[in-house]
A and B are shown apart, each in its own frame.
Chain A
Amino acid sequence: MLFVQQIVNGLMLGGIYVLIAVAFTLAIGILNFLNFSIPGIFMLGAVVIWHFLASGWPWLPSILVGLAAGVVASLIVERFTYRLMKDSEPEIPLVSSVAFLVLFENLVIVKWGSDQQRFPQFMADFNIRIGEIIIGIGQLVSLATAVILVIAVTLLLKKTKVGRGIRAIGENQETARILGVQVHRIVPILFIVTGLLTAFAGLLFAINYQQVSWSMGDEVGLKGIAAMVIGGMGNVGGAVIGGLLIGLTEVLSIYFFGANMVDISVYGLLLVLLIFWPHGILGSTAAPREKL
């Protein structure tokens, strides 16, 4: 039954990837922007929360400050990357967002050094047993939180005025503007959502694995891209499926092949997907046609 236990673990990890994948997929789908700063925000949220906890602050304020840091970082990226470059080829804002990833990581190293830090325990070591399977309370809370957040985002997109505006922008920004959508107000809201989801993912990771480091974005956050691609770029439901699948792939890969094979499995899968099935599971197959 160890195998089933691994499946459970994979789903829990998957929940974290889901949040990151949703952040990526919203940016790609709505704004055609591959936001490489997302892994940096993932790390920043976690590190900021750790810092305040380590300084003696209680949990709730620390978490709130960490989430706020994620939002602020995301808005800075919006201001200096997307807003300035949305009319050029999509690779230019991508490059800038990559520079932000580097910036966030190095700011953290400057302030706190490059060592991995221990993240305190969130709740008592409490486990649920179902048959022979052990589920930690932390893991359950993690998965539940991820699910709630994704549902919240989906409801936001489908039921609210802001959400409709976001989807209109995703269809065609010019048309949306003509139809009266306040693009310059709505786009930052999207970045706020990105910041929240991503920083939250960082928090969940820190709680479950009880560690934070400046490189956790590179090691964990970037895998969210693979999750996004599997599920289909631009598709939130796809991001959910993709996130869970990548979580499973990672955990099962460790189980069967050892920890050193994880990157080969996850990124090998990403590479194969990009070459043969770039539209992913739920993405559209229509390729845009050029006008001559």
Chain B
Amino acid sequence: MSGYTEALFTLLAINCVVALSGYMSLAAGQLNLGIAGFMAIGAYVSAFLTNNYDLPIFLGIIAGGAAACVIALLLAVPVLRTHGIYLALATFALGQVIQGILLNMEVVGAAAGYGVSKHASFGFIAGTALIVIAVIFYLSKTRFSMYLTAVKSDAIVSDLFGVNVRVTMVQAFSLGGLLAGIGGALYGHYYNYLEPQNFNILLSIYIALYVLLGGVQTFYGPLVGAAVFTLLPELLRDSDQWRFVVFAIAVILVMAVRPQGLITSDLLRRFGGRA
């Protein structure tokens, strides 16, 4: 595989992990506009531990994911007191605060950036991504994922059937944080350089947009969204920036005519097999 193709598929693998992180939250009805913040936590924690304590990469990634998960868990309780638009805004503010804190943390380079010494190969990243995809696929076949959909669709009815809506939301949010942390750590170990400016609102926005573009009714939607977002530039080789213009227009059009996203439960049913 050529260097360029390998880099592209590595990015695809990372984006798939991140897309599933967005899926967790959005499947429960939470528009998380601070997801880049959790990626940053995972990236920096893993980088720091592998740089300073000579941890092997896979442990760094686990630590990064765990750190993001724990912080998501702690923040979920107050933040999930908000709903809908308020929740979107609260997560947006959260992402900005995390970025702001990292911009000031000298121990990890602050605004100047932070080098990550250990490099993860394409094979390692693809392997990790496949494991994550397999785990989330499994999860999508359990009652847990059905409750996420139920809570998103009608929280009051779910509550009346005994589902603990608060706990379900916190679980979804924390799982989302965990996956975002893993994705961020993978990113850090591939590009070997981290800057807080990269984990900004635009990154969270792009993630939310391509997950929604793909559709959150099924497990496959976010992966399709990640693929579209990552591979679209291949059709527009020459101009890098036009790809975002095309992507934005695609999102606007899809949201206008098919807000459930490209892949829906119905579509999956038509092509055989169950959603």
Interface residues of A (CB under 8 A from B): 28, 34, 80-81, 84-85, 88-92, 94-96, 98-103, 105-107, 109-110, 218, 222, 225-226, 229, 260-264, 267-268, 270-271, 274-275, 278, 290, 292
Contacts and interface: CB of A to CB of B under 8 A. Distances in A.
Q: Is the interface of A mostly helix, strand, loop or mixed?
A: helix
B93 interface: yes
A250 to B, nearest CB: 12
Contact of B101 (A80, A94, A218, A264): A264
B84 A261 contact: no
Contact of A278 (B86, B111, B202, B206): B86
Q: Is the interface of B mostly helix, strand, loop or mixed?
A: helix
B248 A106 contact: yes
A110 B255 contact: no
Nearest to A113: B241
13 contacts: A81-B255, A91-B85, A91-B88, A94-B88, A95-B31, A106-B244, A225-B89, A260-B104, A260-B110, A260-B111, A263-B96, A270-B89, A270-B93
A28 to B, nearest CB: 8
B239 interface: yes
Contacts of A110: 239, 241-242, 245
Nearest to B155: A290
B155 to A, nearest CB: 9
A102 B206 contact: yes
B84 A90 contact: yes
Interface residues of B, number: 45
B100 A100 contact: no
Interface of B: 31, 78-79, 81-82, 84-86, 88-90, 92-94, 96-97, 99-101, 103-104, 110-111, 156, 200-202, 205-206, 208-209, 212, 239, 241-242, 244-245, 247-249, 251-252, 255-256, 259
A89 B155 CA distance: 14
Contacts, number: 129
A110 B242 CA distance: 7
Contacts of B241: 106, 109-110
A92 B255 contact: yes
A109 B242 CA distance: 9
Nearest to A267: B96
Contacts of B256: 80-81, 84-85, 96
Contacts of A34: 85, 88-89
B185 to A, nearest CB: 23
A240 B205 CA distance: 28
Contact of A91 (B84, B205, B206): B84
